Amino acid sequence: MMPEDPTRILVDTVQKLQRRGHKRNLQNLLDKTRPADIAILLRHIPEPEEQLRLFRVIEEVDKKAEVLSEMAPTVLPGFLGALSDDALVPLLEEMPGDDTADILEFVSEERKSALLRKMSREEMTEAQDLLQYDPETAGGIMVPDFFALSEELTCDLAIQALRDVHDELEMVFYAYVTNAHGHLVGVLSLREVVTAPPDTPLRDVMETEVTRVRTSDDQETVARLVARYNLLALPVVDDNNCLVGIVTVDDVIDVIREEATEDMFRMAGAGDATFGFDTGSIFASTRSRLPWLFASWIGGVLAGGIIQGYEERLLQVAALAAFIPVIIGMAGNVGTQSLTVVTRGLALGQINTHQIVKVVGRELAVGVFCGFIYGALLGVAGAVLISFQGGDINPMRFGLAVGLALCTGMLIAAAVGAAVPMLLHRLSIDPAVATGPFVTTSVDILGVLVYFNLATVLLGL
């Protein structure tokens, strides 16, 4: 058994206190609960009005802002709808710029303009700057609050500067060093600043090779660099190499989890990952899954059309129908295996598209081995079955037909499952999208075709 879930205990306690009107106790409990946990708690409360009632119990505006930034994208629209502009504006001003921009993506254009107008000039400009970037790029996930120092500064003045900025910055790990033009020229860890001789100019202690990304770079690129080089933050530059923001490691963790979930949902044809845990909208979820199922539907209908074309032979040897599920099922599974291995390898940067021959060859080899083993097993099963049935079908030939069909189907599936993501990736299309349904569909059709043709030839139908 799993240990009792702490979230559930929290939800139960809060609901009990709320029902009994113990406002004071509720306040104490929320004071001690971290913003991230309150955000999770709010996801378990069904009605936006009820969520808002609890949210209002939180006293400090900075904690409220943090809770709002941590809230799930599925709860946000309803919650924001219940929250008045006057209550929302101070929270938007309080949170880091990237979070403000994220929240504003969830309201209508009209309301967005109204909210921006009500915000302080500085906060508004910052949010507007960030809103111009695609939310899934480096520009979209960066914060414009970074700690940048001139290369002329000495280490002790740098520490002084650090004390001065104290409360404004989110997380400081690196001091970025810029030249007179604002170009990023170096980086120092905070620790290097603290431990270097106080009168050294930063220019002499800084690292000059700085890993950086452009505002337009995809968030997956950002995540891969941070993961590969074990970074805590990554500087973001504009087209002129001027430092405009940083992406911090905590946002990268969210990106990695998000992208992995997205990939899984896409590969399973489960549509948009934001509907995954949405306990509210069954219709949105249905709408997002329907198109992927259509590929499978078409594939099945086409495979059915092919079977229909062999009706005469099916009437001669009805046992042929019995082997349809195992042949298309196994081929589909092998195809999914190859697909997953290759798609994930591409996502993690472990294989590149130039290795297409090698990768497909390797999956083909695995397909041959698996196909041979299960084909042989099925061939024997088929031969035994048909010989018990009697009739004038040659058991050896029948076994050969089903075994060979399974083996060939699995071979084709492995090749398709490996080749399709490689080709899509080469065309700059995310291989996780739609590959799943596409592979199973083509494998359905090809599998049935191979099976009935082999049976026709080998059984002389």
Site size toward a copy of itself (CB under 8 A) is 126
| Whether the Cβ atoms of residue 451 and residue 324 lie closer than 8 Å to each other | yes
Identify each DSSP E strand in 242-338 by its residue range. Answer: 243-248
Which range of residues in 79-87, 236-244, 259-267, 391-399 is near a copy of itself by CB under 8 A? 259-267
- What's the rounded Cα separation, in Å, for the pair 298 and 321? 20
Q: Which is nearer to a copy of itself, 203 or 313 (CB)?
A: 313
Amino acid at position 62, single letter? D
Residue 163 makes contact with a copy of itself by CB under 8 A: yes
Question: Shortest Cβ distance from residue 243 to a copy of itself (Å)?
Answer: 20
Question: Shortest Cβ distance from residue 319 to a copy of itself (Å)?
Answer: 7
Residue 180 makes contact with a copy of itself by CB under 8 A: no
DSSP 430: -
| Whether the Cβ atoms of residue 263 and residue 341 lie closer than 8 Å to each other | no
Question: Shortest Cβ distance from residue 109 to a copy of itself (Å)?
Answer: 29
User: Which residues, in sequence order, are bridge partners of residue 357?
Assistant: none
Single residue of 88, 263, 400, 404 touching a copy of itself by CB under 8 A: 263
Which range of residues in 101-109, 114-122, 125-133, 370-378 is near a copy of itself by CB under 8 A? 370-378
Which range of residues in 57-65, 128-136, 212-220, 221-229 is near a copy of itself by CB under 8 A? 221-229
Structure tokens at 199: 């009168």
Which range of residues in 13-21, 84-92, 93-101, 322-330 is near a copy of itself by CB under 8 A? 322-330
Question: Shortest Cβ distance from residue 251 to a copy of itself (Å)?
Answer: 9
**In Å, how far are 35, 72, 95 from 85, measured between CA atoms?**
21, 20, 15
| Whether the Cβ atoms of residue 185 and residue 179 lie closer than 8 Å to each other | yes
Residues 6+ apart with CB under 8 A from 364: 411, 414, 415, 418
**In Å, how far are 72, 265, 272, 299, 454 from 288, measured between CA atoms?**
18, 11, 6, 19, 39
Residue 333 makes contact with a copy of itself by CB under 8 A: yes
Question: Shortest Cβ distance from residue 145 to a copy of itself (Å)?
Answer: 14
Question: Shortest Cβ distance from residue 53 to a copy of itself (Å)?
Answer: 22
Half-sphere exposure of 335 (CA within 13 A, CB side): 31
Of residues 316, 339, 336, 310, the one with CA closest to residue 448: 310
Question: Shortest Cβ distance from residue 85 to a copy of itself (Å)?
Answer: 28
Q: Which of residues 377-396 bind a copy of itself (CB under 8 A)?
A: 377-378, 381, 385
Single residue of 28, 108, 113, 195 touching a copy of itself by CB under 8 A: 195
Residue 43 makes contact with a copy of itself by CB under 8 A: yes
Residue 34 makes contact with a copy of itself by CB under 8 A: yes
